Structure 1
Amino acid sequence: MGNSSSLLTQYDLEDLQNHTNHLFSQREIVSLYERFCALDRTGKGFISADEFMGVPEFAVNPLCQRLLKMLEGLNFKEFIALLSAFSARATQQDKINFIFRVYDTDANGKVTASDILQVLRDLSGSFLSDKQRELVLNQALEQAGYTKDSALTTEDFSKVLGNLKMEVEVPVD
Protein backbone atom coordinates (compact mmCIF):
# COMPACT_ATOMS: atom_id res chain seq x y z
CA MET A 1 0.00 0.00 0.00
CA GLY A 2 2.99 2.29 0.10
CA ASN A 3 3.48 3.68 -3.37
CA SER A 4 1.27 4.74 -6.22
CA SER A 5 2.20 1.79 -8.42
CA SER A 6 0.74 -0.73 -6.00
CA LEU A 7 -2.94 -1.54 -6.07
CA LEU A 8 -5.28 -2.27 -3.22
CA THR A 9 -6.40 -5.87 -3.12
CA GLN A 10 -9.85 -6.96 -2.00
CA TYR A 11 -8.23 -8.07 1.26
CA ASP A 12 -6.71 -4.57 1.69
CA LEU A 13 -10.07 -2.93 1.05
CA GLU A 14 -11.85 -5.13 3.57
CA ASP A 15 -9.07 -4.58 6.13
CA LEU A 16 -9.25 -0.81 5.62
CA GLN A 17 -13.03 -0.83 5.91
CA ASN A 18 -12.77 -2.74 9.19
CA HIS A 19 -10.04 -0.37 10.41
CA THR A 20 -12.33 2.62 9.81
CA ASN A 21 -15.43 0.90 11.24
CA HIS A 22 -16.98 0.83 7.75
CA LEU A 23 -17.24 4.61 7.63
CA PHE A 24 -15.94 4.56 4.04
CA SER A 25 -17.19 2.43 1.18
CA GLN A 26 -14.67 0.47 -0.86
CA ARG A 27 -15.05 2.97 -3.70
CA GLU A 28 -14.34 5.85 -1.32
CA ILE A 29 -11.25 4.04 -0.01
CA VAL A 30 -9.95 3.54 -3.55
CA SER A 31 -10.54 7.21 -4.33
CA LEU A 32 -8.78 8.30 -1.12
CA TYR A 33 -5.91 5.91 -1.87
CA GLU A 34 -5.44 7.38 -5.35
CA ARG A 35 -5.36 10.89 -3.85
CA PHE A 36 -2.95 9.74 -1.12
CA CYS A 37 -0.61 8.24 -3.73
CA ALA A 38 -0.76 11.42 -5.82
CA LEU A 39 0.24 13.48 -2.78
CA ASP A 40 2.99 11.01 -1.80
CA ARG A 41 5.28 12.26 -4.56
CA THR A 42 8.30 10.47 -3.11
CA GLY A 43 6.50 7.10 -2.95
CA LYS A 44 7.63 6.53 0.64
CA GLY A 45 4.20 5.43 1.84
CA PHE A 46 3.44 8.58 3.82
CA ILE A 47 2.84 12.23 3.08
CA SER A 48 5.47 14.66 4.29
CA ALA A 49 4.82 18.17 5.58
CA ASP A 50 6.14 19.61 2.32
CA GLU A 51 3.77 17.43 0.31
CA PHE A 52 0.81 18.49 2.46
CA MET A 53 1.80 22.13 2.14
CA GLY A 54 1.77 21.66 -1.65
CA VAL A 55 -2.02 21.36 -1.49
CA PRO A 56 -3.26 24.96 -1.76
CA GLU A 57 -6.46 24.33 0.24
CA PHE A 58 -4.42 22.85 3.06
CA ALA A 59 -1.68 25.47 3.01
CA VAL A 60 -4.14 28.35 3.43
CA ASN A 61 -6.05 26.66 6.25
CA PRO A 62 -5.42 28.69 9.41
CA LEU A 63 -5.10 25.43 11.36
CA CYS A 64 -2.67 23.82 8.93
CA GLN A 65 0.21 23.67 11.43
CA ARG A 66 -2.00 21.89 13.97
CA LEU A 67 -3.31 19.52 11.33
CA LEU A 68 0.23 18.82 10.13
CA LYS A 69 1.15 17.60 13.61
CA MET A 70 -1.71 15.12 13.36
CA LEU A 71 -1.18 14.07 9.73
CA GLU A 72 2.53 14.16 8.97
CA GLY A 73 4.14 10.77 8.59
CA LEU A 74 0.93 8.75 8.66
CA ASN A 75 0.72 5.76 6.38
CA PHE A 76 -2.46 5.30 4.36
CA LYS A 77 -4.19 3.11 6.95
CA GLU A 78 -3.56 5.69 9.69
CA PHE A 79 -4.45 8.51 7.31
CA ILE A 80 -7.92 7.22 6.44
CA ALA A 81 -8.60 6.31 10.07
CA LEU A 82 -8.00 9.96 10.93
CA LEU A 83 -10.09 11.16 7.97
CA SER A 84 -12.96 8.86 8.89
CA ALA A 85 -14.26 11.59 11.21
CA PHE A 86 -15.26 13.48 8.05
CA SER A 87 -17.37 10.65 6.70
CA ALA A 88 -21.11 11.21 6.46
CA ARG A 89 -21.42 7.90 8.34
CA ALA A 90 -19.25 9.03 11.27
CA THR A 91 -20.99 9.58 14.56
CA GLN A 92 -21.22 12.93 16.27
CA GLN A 93 -18.76 11.59 18.86
CA ASP A 94 -16.25 10.62 16.11
CA LYS A 95 -16.36 14.20 14.86
CA ILE A 96 -16.04 15.69 18.33
CA ASN A 97 -13.07 13.42 19.11
CA PHE A 98 -11.30 14.72 16.00
CA ILE A 99 -11.98 18.37 16.80
CA PHE A 100 -10.95 17.73 20.40
CA ARG A 101 -7.55 16.53 19.15
CA VAL A 102 -7.17 19.74 17.12
CA TYR A 103 -7.94 21.88 20.17
CA ASP A 104 -5.91 19.80 22.65
CA THR A 105 -2.72 21.60 21.67
CA ASP A 106 -0.51 19.87 24.24
CA ALA A 107 -2.15 16.43 23.78
CA ASN A 108 -2.82 16.04 27.52
CA GLY A 109 -6.41 14.85 27.11
CA LYS A 110 -7.90 18.14 28.25
CA VAL A 111 -8.79 21.34 26.47
CA THR A 112 -8.12 24.46 28.49
CA ALA A 113 -9.07 28.07 27.90
CA SER A 114 -5.48 28.60 26.76
CA ASP A 115 -5.84 25.84 24.14
CA ILE A 116 -9.09 27.34 22.86
CA LEU A 117 -7.64 30.85 22.77
CA GLN A 118 -4.71 29.60 20.71
CA VAL A 119 -7.05 28.00 18.17
CA LEU A 120 -9.18 31.15 18.09
CA ARG A 121 -6.00 33.17 17.51
CA ASP A 122 -5.08 30.88 14.61
CA LEU A 123 -8.57 31.14 13.14
CA SER A 124 -9.16 34.85 13.57
CA GLY A 125 -5.67 36.26 12.99
CA SER A 126 -5.72 40.02 13.35
CA PHE A 127 -9.47 40.17 12.72
CA LEU A 128 -10.15 39.90 16.48
CA SER A 129 -8.18 41.35 19.36
CA ASP A 130 -7.07 39.18 22.28
CA LYS A 131 -9.73 40.86 24.41
CA GLN A 132 -12.45 40.01 21.84
CA ARG A 133 -11.26 36.39 21.64
CA GLU A 134 -11.40 36.11 25.44
CA LEU A 135 -14.91 37.55 25.44
CA VAL A 136 -16.06 35.01 22.81
CA LEU A 137 -14.44 32.18 24.77
CA ASN A 138 -15.93 33.26 28.10
CA GLN A 139 -19.41 33.54 26.58
CA ALA A 140 -19.21 30.11 24.92
CA LEU A 141 -17.94 28.46 28.10
CA GLU A 142 -20.50 30.24 30.27
CA GLN A 143 -23.38 29.19 28.01
CA ALA A 144 -22.25 25.56 28.39
CA GLY A 145 -21.85 25.90 32.16
CA TYR A 146 -18.06 26.19 32.37
CA THR A 147 -15.54 28.85 33.33
CA LYS A 148 -12.20 29.84 31.85
CA ASP A 149 -10.56 27.79 34.62
CA SER A 150 -12.27 24.61 33.42
CA ALA A 151 -10.25 21.88 31.75
CA LEU A 152 -12.62 20.23 29.28
CA THR A 153 -12.72 16.50 28.59
CA THR A 154 -14.25 15.17 25.38
CA GLU A 155 -17.62 14.90 27.14
CA ASP A 156 -17.41 18.53 28.27
CA PHE A 157 -16.23 19.53 24.81
CA SER A 158 -19.35 17.86 23.34
CA LYS A 159 -21.56 20.12 25.45
CA VAL A 160 -19.70 23.23 24.32
CA LEU A 161 -19.78 22.30 20.62
CA GLY A 162 -23.42 21.27 20.55
CA ASN A 163 -24.65 20.07 17.18
CA LEU A 164 -21.54 19.96 15.04
CA LYS A 165 -21.83 19.24 11.30
CA MET A 166 -18.56 18.15 9.76
CA GLU A 167 -18.70 16.12 6.55
CA VAL A 168 -16.69 15.91 3.37
CA GLU A 169 -17.97 14.10 0.33
CA VAL A 170 -15.35 11.78 -1.16
CA PRO A 171 -15.52 11.96 -4.95
CA VAL A 172 -15.63 8.51 -6.50
CA ASP A 173 -14.95 7.98 -10.14
Structure 2
Amino acid sequence: MGNTSSMLTQYDIEEVQQHCNNAFSQQEIVSLYERFCQLDRNGGGFVSGEEFLSVPEFAVNPLSQRLLTMLDGLNFKEFVAFLSAFSPRATVQQKIEFIVKVYDSDGNGKVTFNDMLDVLHDLTGQFISEHQREILGSSGLKMEVEVPVD
Protein backbone atom coordinates (compact mmCIF):
# COMPACT_ATOMS: atom_id res chain seq x y z
CA MET A 1 0.00 0.00 0.00
CA GLY A 2 1.78 3.07 -1.25
CA ASN A 3 1.19 6.79 -0.99
CA THR A 4 -1.58 7.25 -3.54
CA SER A 5 -5.04 5.76 -3.82
CA SER A 6 -4.01 4.21 -7.18
CA MET A 7 -1.61 2.03 -5.20
CA LEU A 8 -4.51 0.52 -3.24
CA THR A 9 -5.49 -2.69 -5.03
CA GLN A 10 -8.82 -4.50 -4.86
CA TYR A 11 -7.05 -7.20 -2.84
CA ASP A 12 -5.77 -4.54 -0.38
CA ILE A 13 -9.25 -3.07 -0.01
CA GLU A 14 -10.80 -6.48 0.68
CA GLU A 15 -8.03 -7.38 3.13
CA VAL A 16 -8.54 -4.11 5.06
CA GLN A 17 -12.29 -4.61 4.97
CA GLN A 18 -11.90 -8.06 6.49
CA HIS A 19 -9.41 -6.74 9.08
CA CYS A 20 -11.94 -4.16 10.31
CA ASN A 21 -14.85 -6.64 10.34
CA ASN A 22 -16.55 -4.94 7.38
CA ALA A 23 -17.12 -1.73 9.34
CA PHE A 24 -16.42 0.26 6.17
CA SER A 25 -17.52 -0.07 2.56
CA GLN A 26 -14.90 -0.33 -0.18
CA GLN A 27 -15.45 3.32 -1.14
CA GLU A 28 -15.04 4.38 2.51
CA ILE A 29 -11.76 2.46 2.67
CA VAL A 30 -10.49 4.25 -0.43
CA SER A 31 -11.45 7.60 1.15
CA LEU A 32 -9.75 6.62 4.41
CA TYR A 33 -6.64 5.65 2.45
CA GLU A 34 -6.55 9.05 0.78
CA ARG A 35 -6.84 10.72 4.20
CA PHE A 36 -4.17 8.40 5.62
CA CYS A 37 -1.81 9.39 2.79
CA GLN A 38 -2.45 13.08 3.57
CA LEU A 39 -1.56 12.47 7.22
CA ASP A 40 1.52 10.38 6.37
CA ARG A 41 3.54 13.42 5.31
CA ASN A 42 6.88 11.65 5.11
CA GLY A 43 5.45 8.76 3.08
CA GLY A 44 6.75 6.10 5.44
CA GLY A 45 3.54 4.09 5.55
CA PHE A 46 2.90 4.95 9.20
CA VAL A 47 1.21 7.92 10.85
CA SER A 48 2.97 9.41 13.85
CA GLY A 49 1.36 11.08 16.83
CA GLU A 50 2.70 14.41 15.60
CA GLU A 51 0.97 13.87 12.26
CA PHE A 52 -2.32 13.08 14.05
CA LEU A 53 -1.98 16.31 16.00
CA SER A 54 -2.05 18.17 12.68
CA VAL A 55 -5.79 17.45 12.56
CA PRO A 56 -7.30 20.43 14.43
CA GLU A 57 -10.29 18.47 15.76
CA PHE A 58 -7.97 15.87 17.19
CA ALA A 59 -5.49 18.34 18.63
CA VAL A 60 -8.16 20.13 20.71
CA ASN A 61 -9.78 16.94 21.98
CA PRO A 62 -9.19 16.72 25.75
CA LEU A 63 -8.57 12.98 25.42
CA SER A 64 -6.10 13.36 22.55
CA GLN A 65 -3.10 12.38 24.69
CA ARG A 66 -4.81 9.12 25.66
CA LEU A 67 -5.69 8.45 22.04
CA LEU A 68 -2.15 9.21 20.89
CA THR A 69 -0.84 6.23 22.83
CA MET A 70 -3.18 4.08 20.75
CA LEU A 71 -2.47 5.85 17.45
CA ASP A 72 1.22 6.59 17.27
CA GLY A 73 2.91 4.55 14.54
CA LEU A 74 -0.16 2.96 12.94
CA ASN A 75 0.00 1.59 9.43
CA PHE A 76 -3.04 1.90 7.17
CA LYS A 77 -4.66 -1.39 8.19
CA GLU A 78 -4.27 -0.51 11.91
CA PHE A 79 -5.53 3.03 11.22
CA VAL A 80 -8.75 1.66 9.70
CA ALA A 81 -9.15 -0.87 12.53
CA PHE A 82 -8.80 1.98 15.05
CA LEU A 83 -11.41 4.07 13.23
CA SER A 84 -13.80 1.13 12.92
CA ALA A 85 -14.90 1.66 16.54
CA PHE A 86 -16.51 4.92 15.36
CA SER A 87 -18.40 3.26 12.51
CA PRO A 88 -22.16 2.81 12.83
CA ARG A 89 -21.52 -0.76 11.64
CA ALA A 90 -19.30 -1.55 14.66
CA THR A 91 -20.86 -3.81 17.24
CA VAL A 92 -21.64 -2.64 20.75
CA GLN A 93 -18.92 -5.01 21.99
CA GLN A 94 -16.33 -3.38 19.69
CA LYS A 95 -17.33 0.08 20.89
CA ILE A 96 -17.15 -0.98 24.55
CA GLU A 97 -13.72 -2.56 24.07
CA PHE A 98 -12.50 0.68 22.49
CA ILE A 99 -13.85 2.81 25.35
CA VAL A 100 -12.23 0.52 27.92
CA LYS A 101 -8.88 0.91 26.13
CA VAL A 102 -9.22 4.70 26.17
CA TYR A 103 -10.30 4.93 29.82
CA ASP A 104 -8.02 2.22 31.24
CA SER A 105 -5.15 4.47 32.38
CA ASP A 106 -2.91 1.75 33.78
CA GLY A 107 -3.58 -0.83 31.05
CA ASN A 108 -4.80 -3.55 33.41
CA GLY A 109 -7.94 -4.29 31.36
CA LYS A 110 -10.24 -2.69 33.92
CA VAL A 111 -11.73 0.77 34.23
CA THR A 112 -11.45 1.64 37.90
CA PHE A 113 -12.67 4.63 39.84
CA ASN A 114 -9.16 6.11 39.70
CA ASP A 115 -9.14 5.64 35.92
CA MET A 116 -12.40 7.58 35.76
CA LEU A 117 -10.90 10.32 37.93
CA ASP A 118 -7.97 10.53 35.52
CA VAL A 119 -10.40 10.90 32.61
CA LEU A 120 -12.35 13.51 34.57
CA HIS A 121 -9.10 15.39 35.11
CA ASP A 122 -8.28 15.16 31.40
CA LEU A 123 -11.73 16.46 30.49
CA THR A 124 -11.88 19.28 33.03
CA GLY A 125 -8.22 20.29 33.03
CA GLN A 126 -7.74 23.34 35.20
CA PHE A 127 -11.40 23.43 36.20
CA ILE A 128 -10.93 20.75 38.85
CA SER A 129 -8.10 21.03 41.30
CA GLU A 130 -5.97 18.19 42.60
CA HIS A 131 -7.56 18.83 46.00
CA GLN A 132 -11.06 18.34 44.55
CA ARG A 133 -9.86 15.19 42.81
CA GLU A 134 -8.44 13.86 46.10
CA ILE A 135 -11.78 14.55 47.80
CA LEU A 136 -13.57 12.58 45.09
CA GLY A 137 -11.04 9.77 45.39
CA SER A 138 -11.35 9.53 49.17
CA SER A 139 -15.16 9.72 49.14
CA GLY A 140 -15.37 5.96 49.38
CA LEU A 141 -16.98 5.49 45.99
CA LYS A 142 -15.74 2.37 44.31
CA MET A 143 -16.23 1.40 40.71
CA GLU A 144 -14.61 -1.11 38.46
CA VAL A 145 -15.63 -2.29 35.02
CA GLU A 146 -14.08 -5.22 33.26
CA VAL A 147 -15.14 -6.20 29.76
CA PRO A 148 -14.12 -9.63 28.56
CA VAL A 149 -12.43 -9.50 25.19
CA ASP A 150 -13.51 -12.24 22.80
TM-score interval, smaller chain: 0.7 to 0.9
Q: Which runs of 5+ in 2 are unaligned?
A: none
Match of 2:144 in 1: 151
Match of 1:120 in 2: 120
CA offsets, 1:48-82, max 9 Å, x none?
12111111111111111110000000101011111
Q: How does 1:123-138 map to 2 (within 5 A)?
A: 123-129=123-129
Match of 1:163 in 2: none
On the 8 A contact 1:46/1:75 being kept in 2, the answer is: yes
Match of 2:13 in 1: 13
Alpha-carbon distance in structure 2 between the residues aligned to 1:84 and 1:95:
9
On the 8 A contact 2:5/2:30 being kept in 1, the answer is: no
Please state whether the residue corresponding to 2:47 is helix, strand or coil.
coil
Alpha-carbon distance in structure 2 between the residues aligned to 1:64 and 1:101:
13
Match of 1:84 in 2: 84
Alpha-carbon distance in structure 2 between the residues aligned to 1:80 and 1:96:
17
Match of 1:53 in 2: 53
Alpha-carbon distance in structure 2 between the residues aligned to 1:5 and 1:42:
16
TM-score by length of 1: 0.76
Give the letter for the 2:82 counterpart: L
Structure 1 residues 59, 13: closer, same or farther in 2, change over 3 A?
A: same
On the 8 A contact 2:3/2:37 being kept in 1, the answer is: yes
Alpha-carbon distance in structure 1 between the residues aligned to 2:2 and 2:137:
42
Match of 1:104 in 2: 104
TM-score by length of 2: 0.87
**Identity fraction in percent:** 63
Instruction: Tell me which moved more, 127-136 or 95-104.
Output: 127-136
Structure 1 residues 130, 74: closer, same or farther in 2, change over 3 A?
A: same
Structure 1 residues 2, 120: closer, same or farther in 2, change over 3 A?
A: farther
CA RMSD, Structure 1 to Structure 2 (Å)? 2.4
Match of 1:144 in 2: none
Match of 2:30 in 1: 30
Alpha-carbon distance in structure 2 between the residues aligned to 1:86 and 1:134:
33
On the 8 A contact 2:5/2:33 being kept in 1, the answer is: no
Alpha-carbon distance in structure 2 between the residues aligned to 1:91 and 1:137:
33
Structure 1 residues 15, 5: closer, same or farther in 2, change over 3 A?
A: closer
Structure 1 residues 30, 134: closer, same or farther in 2, change over 3 A?
A: farther
Higher relative CO (Cα under 8 Å, sequence separation at least 6) belongs to: 1
On the 8 A contact 1:62/1:123 being kept in 2, the answer is: yes
